[in-house]
Amino acid sequence: MTPSPARVPKMFPKPAEPRSTTSPCTSIRFFLVASFKSPCNILLPEGSEESLFFFSAFSRPLRPSRNQFKIRLLSATTRKSHLHERPAMRRAIPVTSLILSTAISCHAQTKPPVPPSDYGQWESLATFREYGGLSPDGKWLAYGINRSNRNNELRVTNIPDGNSKTVAFGAQPAFSSDSRWVAYSIGISESQEETLKKDKKPVPKKIGLLNLTTGELTTVDGIESFAFSPDGAWLAMRRTPPEKKDSNKKDSAESSVSEDDAAAGATLLLRQLSNGRETSFGNVSEYAWQDLPKTGTLLAMIINAEDKIGNGVQIFDVHTAAVRVLDTSASVYAGLSWRKKSADLALLRSKSDDRHDGPTHVALAWTTLGQPSESAHLYDPTADSKFPAATRTVSFHKPDWALDGRVVFLGIAKWEDKIGEPAKVSAPAPEGAKSGDGSKSGDATAKDTGTAKNTDKDDDEPPTVEVWNWHDVEVMPKQRLNAKNDRQKNMLAAWHLDKNSLVPLGKDLDERVTWLKHQSLAVAANWSAYAMERSIGRPAADISLVDISNGARTKIQEHLNDDHYLEESPGGRYLLYFHDDHYCTVNTATHAVINITKSIPTAFVDRESDWTIKQKPPFGVAGWTKEDAAVILYDKFDLWQVAPDGARAVRLTDGAADQVRHRYEKLDPEEEWIDTSKPIYLSLFGIWTKKSGFARLKPNPSSTLTEEHLLWLDKSLDHLAKAKDADVFEYVEQTFVESPNAFIAGPDLKSAKAVTNTNPFQNSYAWGREELIEYKNSHNERLQGALFYPAGYAPAKKYPMIVYMYEKLSDNLHRYNPPSERAYYNVSTINSQGYFVLEPDIVFKPRDPGVSVVDCVTAAAKRVMQMGVIDPKHIGIMGHSWGGFDTTYLATHTTNFFAAAVAGAPITDLVSNYGNHHWSSGIAETDHIETGQQRMEVPLYEDLQAYIRNSAVFGVSTMTTPLLIEVGDSDGTVFFHQGVELYNIARRAKKNVVLIEYAGEDHGLRKKANQIDYQRRIFQWFGHYLKDEPAAAWITNGESYLDHERELRKLKTASAKN
């Protein structure tokens, strides 16, 4: 009789997952004293029994005893069941009685951590819409492989046989509708692109074409864009246009008023894919296939030649090979627009005069092109006596068809009078050159007043002054950045084809007007009365319905808290908006306004949001059911189907019971309504377990929906997609240990097949693992953190730990991090250097963001200390931007708790920063500080002490944590003086602080050399303070400017030689 294997708890994981990447242990030490009634088996990983030594204390079997011992294998390494890995093959070893003391070395014990020289090979997966995803027939998958060294590639895999085609630097794949072809752009290496840009040479553009039937690859050089015909039989390819002869750029003040400078024309190639034959058209600036899925045969083209000879719009019919000129003139054409699922086409033709800046536009439209009922329409605003004075139609608002084809929506804007040409100004003398009076240009003549000598150039130049007035709704830096967009602001107007009349729908530029599908109405959100409120983070608006036949308005809601949550139903029968924590509908026919959620026993607003805004955000809208019969809303965990009159509400899912968040997966990007007669797919996420999966709601005979769970794993599952014409589904699966891979399955998502295999070489290296921890702050709030173990973790050792923080980061538990020397805060890279990494959740209290950071982060760190796996005297902290605020505040407001800190682009002084600008967007920081991340709620002058209490600079006197500050001197998000300010104050206080400044860098480092340098310095800093490694010279002695210059010359010389 074969003995039964003894159970070995927690040593071998359950085979719950489809793929394994590493062995679950690095070192296992067994201490066992046992006697057995009969021989038994110990199950061990295959290959480990040869290192097992038996020391028997008995020369013969023991006599049977009632006091039997269960075998227990003790291992700190395998305390936790590794759900992410398959069990190794096991073999049974019979024993009778023994005393066992041995070490079993699993294969992972000898694996090295990933060295920096190997980072470059690591892969990330890019799939779905941005990378092609599934072919319409579900037999092919196009996806990108992005590597840490930027040697990216495109792969197109045949799902049935697993064979792939690989294209270096391929991107943006698109399948033909018949699934016979895939086209894609082809780039060049990062180094090649940098060289070309440095030499001011154009970066070449080309495309590839793969025949999915034969496997033949074709490359076409010099192609800027491409598009398949609706039936997939033709490919249109537009060549890169030649550079204009006059390449001098216009002054920024004039750059957008002349719309006669339309997109340059270029050759358009039209290839018949079945035989490779090509037809070419010259000077094509725009092209668009008829929007008639799988049956459209018409290709519209705008011709814009440099000399304007032959300009016009043409139609090519691929079935008849006939070219037809619809309109031609010496004007500039723009804005091709096909009505969906029709043969209706609209566009604009420029019309200029000598009195105005820029042209107005004549609107052209054709309905039922190529059919007996075809008709042409033309609207000339200069010939319409009712058209608003000093107004023009503009080309930067593309014509937009109403669904029924009766109306085309255009943009109108103020038509400015032409300004005379500016006088020519002689070129300034070179710096330091002598002027006519013998003096050098730029000499100061009145140092105490800051004035300088006049020059001839000064006499000809206008003043450069800008007036910043307190009445300005937008501050001047924002106006300057938005100048181009502001010049293109326009108001919506409706061109009624049957009457050939234009009805302005917009009133002013401080509103957004959107036409409603299937209705003769538009909705206007006007914020002119609240413009100043919007500029400081309080986006109120008045909401009105607009009759598109005459422009008449009916106001339906004054002072809506936030118009970002305003939307219309697909059929246009209702408006939906969120106000005072509830959803309201507006019946667009009766104008009745109904609060549809006030009686539902749940909250649709995220009351746990810690943002200091008047209207807390709602959880969102999944969509509407057919014919606008109901809207499907989200609460924290579930989906609710709610009647638009509020009469009925049904909860469709049951996520609240297990605190599992359910969200709708839109599998058809062109879908208008949610069809409840078909299965509805949902994503699932356990907010406390971090497990994820998918479910579906299935219709049943009682006309209700039944939830069916399909997948539920202790992993990250996301990016669910479906083939357009087949029941083939795709999703991506990953953990911190398992590299992301795409899986293919049927509608029930069972028996999924992996079609990618990223980073197969990972098994050759030691890797960390993840663990979810829980803790509470001083307010007794339940919080979590993602804890990542060092690669090659040994339980007998205490490790240093780095806390990386921002806001709530525990959801990163199953996020895979490919190691990289350019991602300077990369968790896997830090793990490979022998550190634990903790990413904790932080909840912020109004007016106390800094105090909240100390409360939450120290609690998280103490929880890990209790686990006994880290050295409590060697804990570092790190963060960037808002995480930099967290880091500097902790460094200056905790004493002898953290051993070192690294803060990138930090906010350090809320008092001084309150008067600053967010330079990349131009907005004043008052908005960001009061209602944004800093959550200060009120202006500086209303609670100065709160601003002081939460600023790092005011805690410098008690600072004990060595601090490294990183800044880029061109940072447009956090003014780099914030870092400099803390450095200067801490330096004055004789605190251990070092600042590293990267010239020409913005909020995040872009230059490869700087990315690598910063990561290197982070490890040197933490290596010294957390691992007692010798300090680099720059840490202890600094680096003088002259030494820095000399080092740069050495590097440049070495680079030139290479």
Which two tokens mark 381?
């605003």
Helix (H, G, I), strand (E, B) or coil at 422: coil
The predicted pLDDT at position 73 comes to: 33
Which two tokens mark 829?
């890279």
The predicted pLDDT at position 1051 comes to: 77
For the residues 607-624, what does the mean pLDDT come to?
Answer: 92
Nearest to 343 by CA among 324, 366, 322: 366
Banded model confidence at residue 46, pLDDT cuts 50, 70, 90: very low
Model-level pTM? 0.85
The predicted pLDDT at position 703 comes to: 65
Kindly list the domain boundaries of the chain, sorted by start residue: 28-110, 342-417+474-504, 505-714, 766-1053
**CA atoms within 13 Å, Cβ hemisphere of 192:** 10
The predicted pLDDT at position 82 comes to: 33
Do residues 653 and 682 lie in contact, with contact meaning Cβ atoms separated by under 8 Å? yes
Banded model confidence at residue 17, pLDDT cuts 50, 70, 90: very low
**CA atoms within 13 Å, Cβ hemisphere of 978:** 37
Do residues 77 and 26 lie in contact, with contact meaning Cβ atoms separated by under 8 Å? yes
Do residues 350 and 395 lie in contact, with contact meaning Cβ atoms separated by under 8 Å? yes
Our measurement of the distance from residue 289's CA atom to the centroid of its chain's CA atoms, rounded to an integer in Å, reads 30
The predicted pLDDT at position 461 comes to: 85
Q: Is residue 132 pLDDT above 80, yes or no?
A: no
**Which CATH class, in words, describes the domain spanning 766-1053?**
alpha beta
**517-521, 726-730, 775-779, 786-790 — which is least confidently predicted?**
517-521
The predicted pLDDT at position 613 comes to: 86
Q: Is residue 585 pLDDT above 80, yes or no?
A: yes
170-184 burial, b for 16+ CB within 10 Å, e for fewer?
bbbbbbbbbbbbbbb
| pLDDT tens string 68-90 | 333 333 333 333 333 333 333 33
Q: Is residue 64 pLDDT above 50, yes or no?
A: no
Banded model confidence at residue 458, pLDDT cuts 50, 70, 90: low
Q: Is residue 822 pLDDT above 80, yes or no?
A: yes
Which two tokens mark 732?
């991506």
Phi-psi region of 834 (alpha: psi -120 to 50; beta: other; left: phi over 0): left
The predicted pLDDT at position 422 comes to: 53
Beta bridge partners of 633: 621, 640
Banded model confidence at residue 721, pLDDT cuts 50, 70, 90: very high
- Cα gap 908→930, rounded to integer Å: 16
Beta bridge partners of 552: none
**440-449, 727-736, 975-984 — which is least confidently predicted?**
440-449
For the residues 282-291, what does the mean pLDDT come to?
Answer: 96
| pLDDT tens string 308-365 | 999 999 999 999 999 999 999 999 999 999 999 999 999 999 999 989 999 999 999 9
Q: 864 CB contacts (<8 Å, ≥6 apart)?
A: 773, 785, 787, 801, 836, 838, 870
- Cα gap 177→137, rounded to integer Å: 9
The predicted pLDDT at position 454 comes to: 58
Helix (H, G, I), strand (E, B) or coil at 481: helix
DSSP letter for 222, please. S
Banded model confidence at residue 905, pLDDT cuts 50, 70, 90: very high
- Cα gap 80→418, rounded to integer Å: 75
Banded model confidence at residue 722, pLDDT cuts 50, 70, 90: very high
Phi, psi of 296 (to 5 degrees): -65, 135
**186-200, 260-274, 359-373, 651-665 — which is least confidently predicted?**
260-274
Helix residue ranges per DSSP H, 341-466 = 456-460
**90-94, 243-247, 791-795, 908-912 — which is least confidently predicted?**
90-94
- Cα gap 231→290, rounded to integer Å: 11
| pLDDT tens string 243-280 | 766 544 444 444 444 555 567 899 999 999 999 999 99
- Cα gap 678→805, rounded to integer Å: 43
- Cα gap 867→869, rounded to integer Å: 6
Q: What is the CA radius of gyration of the chain?
A: 34
For the residues 802-831, what does the mean pLDDT come to?
Answer: 97
Our measurement of the distance from residue 68's CA atom to the centroid of its chain's CA atoms, rounded to an integer in Å, reads 59
Question: What is the average pLDDT score of the chain?
Answer: 86
Q: Is residue 878 pLDDT above 60, yes or no?
A: yes
Our measurement of the distance from residue 369's CA atom to the centroid of its chain's CA atoms, rounded to an integer in Å, reads 41
Q: Is residue 11 pLDDT above 70, yes or no?
A: no
Q: Is residue 455 pLDDT above 60, yes or no?
A: no
State which H helix or E strand residue 153 sits in.
strand 153-158
Number of helices followed by number of strands (H, E) in the chain: 15, 61
- Cα gap 983→906, rounded to integer Å: 11
**CA atoms within 13 Å, Cβ hemisphere of 250:** 11
**Which CATH class, in words, describes the domain spanning 505-714?**
mainly beta
Tokens 């967290």 — which residue? 886
E strands present in 46-88: none
Our measurement of the distance from residue 442's CA atom to the centroid of its chain's CA atoms, rounded to an integer in Å, reads 47
| pLDDT tens string 415-451 | 999 886 554 444 444 434 444 444 444 444 444 445 5
Task: Answer with the residue of higher pLDDT: 78 or 489.
Answer: 489
E strands present in 714-859: 716-722, 729-734, 741-745, 753-754, 770-776, 782-788, 799-804, 836-840
Sign of CA dihedral 860, 863, 867, 873: positive
Banded model confidence at residue 36, pLDDT cuts 50, 70, 90: very low
- Cα gap 12→74, rounded to integer Å: 13
The predicted pLDDT at position 45 comes to: 36
